[in-house]
Structure 1
């Protein structure tokens, strides 16, 4: 998780530099901040990811177990 936070910080710094050079109303500035927002959204999704329950963990380790069989209709 810290890796994505470092990337967000880098992109934020880059966005500030782009906006200083090209102006805060430029397309380049907007695109740079869009990249920051996308990374922040990904970080949020990673934090919200559902943790596996004990059966799911068991089935990951034992996919051939009877309890882990999946049947198609």
Structure 2
């Protein structure tokens, strides 16, 4: 997770540099900030972890239990 945060920080610094040289209304500036937003969205997505159900927890602890068997067709 810290790797993506480092990448966000790098992209943010780069976006600031691009916007200061190209202007805040330039398309290059918009593209640079879009890259930052995409990375931030990915980081948020990675933080969202679906909680396990009680059956999933039980099967993690007891993989050989009858309730946890998975049959192939």
What CA deviation, in whole Å up to 9, does each residue of 1:5-58 have, x standing for no partner? 000000000000000010000000000000000000000000002255575575
Once the two structures are superposed, the pairs formed by residues 30-69 of structure 1 within 5 Å of their partners are: 30-52=30-52, 56=56, 58=59, 67-68=67-68, 69=70
The 1:14/1:45 distance shift into structure 2, 3 A limit, reads: same
Aligned length: 70
Q: State the partner residue of 1:29.
A: 29
Two-structure CA RMSD over aligned residues (Å):
2.5
Distance 2:32 2:42 in 1: 16
Output the TM-score relative to the length of structure 1.
Answer: 0.74
Output the TM-score relative to the length of structure 2.
Answer: 0.74
Higher mean C-alpha deviation, range 45-54 or range 11-20: 45-54
Structure 2: unaligned runs, 5 residues or longer: none
